Amino acid sequence: LVELDRAHLVHPVASYRGHERRGVRVLKSGSGATITDASGRRLIDGFAGLWCVNAGYGQNSIVEAATRQLRELPYATGYFGLGSEPAIRLAAELAERAPGDLNHVYFTLGGSDAVDSTVRFIRYYYNAKGLPQKDQFISIEQGYHGSSTVGAGLTALPAFHAGFGVPLDWQHKIPSHYAYRNPAGSDPQAIIAASLTALRGKVDELGADRVAAFYAEPIQGSGGVLVPPPGWMKAMRHLCSELDILFVADEVITGFGRTGPLFACSEDGVIPDLMTVAKGLTSGYAPMGAVLMSDDVYDTIADGAGASAVGHGYTYSAHPVSAAIGLEVLRLYEAGLLENGRKAGARLMEGLRSLSEHPLVGDVRGRGMLAAIELVVDKERKIPLPASADPSRRIFDRAWDNGLVIRAFGNGVLGYAPPLCCTHDEIDAIVERTRMTLDQTLEDP
């Protein structure tokens, strides 16, 4: 498999051939929060795959729901006015639980195409209102919104732009709220004020009559788990209303119990105009994402001038097997997974905070089962680990050898997003194996 992988399988990467040097690690099976590789080594998956296997591995009821649907009807298109029962039911269940009047659900295959779809819907929305000049989009530095052309352009991570001709000329950024390294300081009110000033300034610069929408993750995930101060989302949402631009919450990572509740926006007291979800929606058991839209956005697009002339859809939109999985995953969240995740999340945060005293740990941050620690060689001056230590690869490898999968971001940030089904013992093991990994890194950077 390692040889075949080297020869033929192109991995999703920020730089090519990294995995080829070491050889792929083939994963064989999973159960709960544990995965087993082809050599029989068992590890705790502290990152739930790619922040997605929220329900954990080997959940029989999900497998049964998928199998039933595969037998009954493996595929139905949403075109030609057709549909399938699981997709209709899942849309209704999501609408019922989503904040405010996000009552209309468009299913995609994942997060990137959900983000792409929001851009199209927003353009159609303003066209229908006779405001086609509102075609400029704003997102945030360190933000991640996908790997497609449009999504990568809204994303603000250099590796996703390099050599790719993005961002597109209608995609703009404002600085992140990144508290640990914020020029505005670490005071929450100062950070909120700086973000409000930056958004207002960008909208003034572009012209309020030109700006369509502002995108925010409730917690910036791929940028390094950057948690805004309490009240930040609400303040940004209010400013968008005041400036008459749409507010899009990208909950691809934060949705489905990752931060505690089903949607982080509910906890933030925010009702966005559009919301994107994926990952935990099907908990990684099948590809699926979704855009949730307010009554105003959907009704304007559907009834507006020109609506009959637009087209947008994927062959696998509203896939019945993914939807059947989504329904069962949703049932599991409410039958105890969210509750367990909240308890495990509190223990995870407490455990990681206990590492604050470690000489390498500059910052510990997170909410619920979404967390990160940021490593530095000098705490006072917040100096990152030297690039020569190749923190990403070496720390990932060390943690792996210690029986733990974590995300090691290139800048010495370690990311945590364990399955919500983690037991207390598994959470404690995640913290202890991290401590072991840090001690080894201190001894031999």
For ligand PMP, the binding residues (CB under 6 A) are 110-112, 115, 144-146, 217, 221-222, 250, 252-253, 278, 289
The span from the CA of 414 to the CA of 54, in Å, is 19
Q: Which residues sit opposite 407 in a β-bridge?
A: 415
The span from the CA of 209 to the CA of 194, in Å, is 23
The span from the CA of 354 to the CA of 431, in Å, is 9
Examine residue 445 and say whether the peptide bond preceding it is cis (omega within 30 degrees of 0).
Answer: no
Closest chain position to ligand PMP (CB): 111
Q: Report, in Å, the least distance between residue 440 CB and ligand PMP.
A: 28
**CB neighbour burial string for 202-219, b if at least 16 within 10 angstroms, e if fewer:** bbeebeeeebbbbbbbbb
DSSP 226-285: BPPPTTHHHHHHHHHHHHT-EEEEE-TTTTTTTSSSS-HHHHHT---SEEEE-GGGTTTS
Give the pair of three-digit tokens for residue 396.
């990932």
Q: Which is nearer to ligand PMP, 252 or 399 (CB)?
A: 252
Q: Report, in Å, the least distance between residue 231 CB and ligand PMP.
A: 21
Q: Which is nearer to ligand PMP, 287 or 362 (CB)?
A: 287
The span from the CA of 436 to the CA of 235, in Å, is 40
Q: Report, in Å, the least distance between residue 286 CB and ligand PMP.
A: 12
Q: Report, in Å, the least distance between residue 289 CB and ligand PMP.
A: 6
Q: Report, in Å, the least distance between residue 115 CB and ligand PMP.
A: 5
Q: Work out the widest C-alpha separation in the chain, in whole angstroms.
A: 66
Q: Report, in Å, the least distance between residue 218 CB and ligand PMP.
A: 9
Q: Which is nearer to ligand PMP, 111 or 224 (CB)?
A: 111
DSSP 50: H
DSSP 159: G
Give the pair of three-digit tokens for residue 106.
């468009």
> Which is it for the CA torsion 19, 20, 23, 24, positive or negative?
positive
Q: Which is nearer to ligand PMP, 217 or 426 (CB)?
A: 217
Q: Report, in Å, the least distance between residue 224 CB and ligand PMP.
A: 12
Q: Report, in Å, the least distance between residue 254 CB and ligand PMP.
A: 8
Q: Which is nearer to ligand PMP, 351 or 368 (CB)?
A: 368
Degrees to nearest 5, angle at CA 311 with 72 and 280: 50
Q: Which is nearer to ligand PMP, 56 or 289 (CB)?
A: 289
Q: Which is nearer to ligand PMP, 146 or 418 (CB)?
A: 146
Q: Which is nearer to ligand PMP, 145 or 398 (CB)?
A: 145
